[in-house]
Each structure stands twice: as C-alpha cells, then as structure tokens.
Structure 1
Amino acid sequence: MQNNNNKEEAWFEKGELLQYQDKECRVIAEYDRTVCVEYTNYPFAGEEEEFPYPRVILLKNEVKRIS
C-alpha cells in the first residue's frame, strides 16, 4: 500500500520483535522491500558461521512476528 508521497507504508515498528530462522531479532530500520534487524541474544554458541553478524538486512517476507 502506498501513501501520497509514493512511499510504502511501514510493515513493522522500530524496536519490534521478530523471528528469523528461529532466532529472535529486533527491528532497527525498514526499507521498501527489506528490514534491518539485530539479533537479541547474539552471538549464538556453535552457530558462528551460520550467523556471523549481529545485524543483518532481510527481505520482509523472510521474517515473522512473534506472537
């Protein structure tokens, strides 16, 4: 959905908790098709290669809300 400024409306709120690959993360910033998140319990012991960075850019459809 777009508003008058031709920008898409936000899907998420800054600071909102999300989940990606069973890992909890928090929204830092949102862009047109992506969202920047920071993992909440980073680093993950034994998974350093799969999750080498505490902050990542993900497609919006890759994350889900924690309910």
Structure 2
Amino acid sequence: MDMNPQQVADRARQLQDRVVPQLDEARQNLVDMNNRVVSFIRANPGTCLLGAVAVGFLIGRIASRR
C-alpha cells in the first residue's frame, strides 16, 4: 500500500482531528481531579498527613524485606 506524501499528510490531519479533542478532555479531567484533591487536602490536612505516614511506613516495610 503505497501512499503519496499528500495522503500521509491527510491521514495525519485526520488522526490529529480525532486525538486532539480527546487529549484536551483528558487534560481538563486531570485539572479537575487535581483541584478536588487539593480541596480535600486543604479541608483534611491531618487525615492526609496520617495517610501519607501510613503509606510511607508500608513502603518502608516492603522495601526493607529485600
């Protein structure tokens, strides 16, 4: 299947037209999730700190076994 440069460019544009909106949506979802996480941490700093300590402890225990 030989494609000339114009066909390749057209296929690339079609792919870009499909992918760019999906990337924009994914980026916006990540921004929204980040905002929710930051809001939760600001509202519950003690809980988040204890959770981070617990996760760090578990990772330390797992790492020390090897």
Q: Please give the TM-score of this superposition, normalised by the length of structure 2.
A: 0.23
Larger Rg: 2
Which has a greater percent of strand?
1
TM-score by length of 1: 0.23
Higher helix share: 2
